[in-house]
Amino acid sequence: MRLILGWIPLFSVACLLLGGCTVKDAGSGGGSLTDSGGLSGTITIDGSSTVFPISQAMAEEFQKLHTDVKVVVA
């Protein structure tokens, strides 16, 4: 019985985490693949102020690789 009760919190957390993993409709993002196979469009990142520095750094690096993509960090 203790073994079963020990797995309930773990299972509950796993369900909550996986519940946040959804796929947004690709047609509503406004981005596209260009004829040359590159990316284009806009990415908006919005989150906690604690993740702002890493989000900004990742956005800068991403834009170096994909110049047709505008990344906005809010």
pLDDT tens, position by position, 17-63: 666 555 555 555 556 555 556 788 999 998 888 999 999 999 999 99
Inside any domain, residue 47:
yes
Inside any domain, residue 11:
no
Q: What is the DSSP letter of 26?
A: G
Inside any domain, residue 70:
yes
Inside any domain, residue 2:
no
Let me know how long the chain is.
74
Inside any domain, residue 14:
no
* Domain ranges, residue 31: 25-74
**pTM value?**
0.51
Inside any domain, residue 57:
yes
The CA distance from 61 to 29, in Å, is 21
> Structurally, how many domains does the chain consist of?
1
